[in-house]
Amino acid sequence: MNNIGIIGAMDEEVNKLKKIMTNVKIHNLASMEFYEGELNNKNVIVVRSGIGKVNAAICTQILIDKFNVEGLINTGIAGALDAKIDIADMVLSEDALQHDMNATGFGYEYGEIPRMKSSIFVADTDMIEKAHAACIKVNPDINVHIGRILSGDEFVQDKEKKSWLLSQFKGHCVEMEGAAIAHVASLNNVPFLIIRGISDKADGSAQMDYNQFEAKAIENSVRLVLEMLANL
């Protein structure tokens, strides 16, 4: 795997990667800046997608159509759902789904996309294994978890919603883009992995936790991505 797309929703999540890239060319497409260049001897395209599922999906399809990426990494931050996951821990996607998909009025389950074979999008096992090994090496002071990542166009910040997401979907963490990227990648048969640093507990303490731990979570993610690239 040599031509790899790296997506972050916010500038903070990709700026450090952009700064250390070499031989950079910038492409402006759909109001996004795609940084094409080299990182750890790999051809990469690094881009800030913007927040939310639609922005993430558009960005992903452009990476596939215009840059012919062989793999996709989505790096960023998330709120923990599972009690065993601490702030600053890392979560790697085993699979992903969209928690705000609701067609229950037509007889579907919560999170189930009508008329699709599957609404749960499974990450690439080789990418999971390499990211897991990379995280243990470069972030030895934190725990790394492999599990389900939930996405929706909502910043989860109350205990009732957190409890519902955990009981309904058995998610490890929740954010706003990953499952949309996974959806597009799966439809195009492109391997993907979602990497999330935990910045908050997705409950009433979100504001305090988020502001304090966002930078640390991003730093951990950047180290993981760089080490992972060296082994892909």
Active site (annotated) includes residue 141: no
Q: What is the CATH number of the domain that holds 140?
A: 3.40.50.1580
Helices 206-229 and 11-20 pack at an angle, to 10 degrees, of 30
Report in angstroms the alpha-carbon separations of 85 from 98, 143, 154, 160: 20, 8, 21, 18
- pLDDT at residue 201 in the model: 74
Please answer whether residues 162 and 76 qualify as being in contact, where contact means their C-beta atoms are separated by less than 8 angstroms.
no
pTM: 0.94
Count up the domains in the chain and report the number: 1
Question: Which among 13, 124, 175, 203 is annotated as catalytic?
Answer: 13
Helices (H), the chain: 11-20, 53-67, 125-138, 159-169, 178-187, 206-229
Report in angstroms the alpha-carbon separations of 222 from 8, 83, 90, 153, 218: 11, 24, 11, 24, 6
Neighbours of 83 (CB within 10 A): 8
- pLDDT at residue 207 in the model: 56
- pLDDT at residue 87 in the model: 84
- pLDDT at residue 199 in the model: 81
Residues of the chain with pLDDT under 50: 208
| Token code pair at residue 211 | 């502001």
d(CA 115, CA 70) in angstroms, rounded, equals 27
- The residue among 84, 86, 81, 72 whose CA lies nearest residue 99 is 81
- pLDDT at residue 218 in the model: 81
Question: Which among 94, 177, 200, 227 is annotated as catalytic?
Answer: 200
Active site (annotated) includes residue 153: no
Domain that holds residue 17: 3-229
Residue range 195-208, pLDDT digits in tens: 999 887 766 655 54
Query: Backbone phi, then psi, for 176, in 5-degree steps?
Result: -130, 5
d(CA 39, CA 46) in angstroms, rounded, equals 10
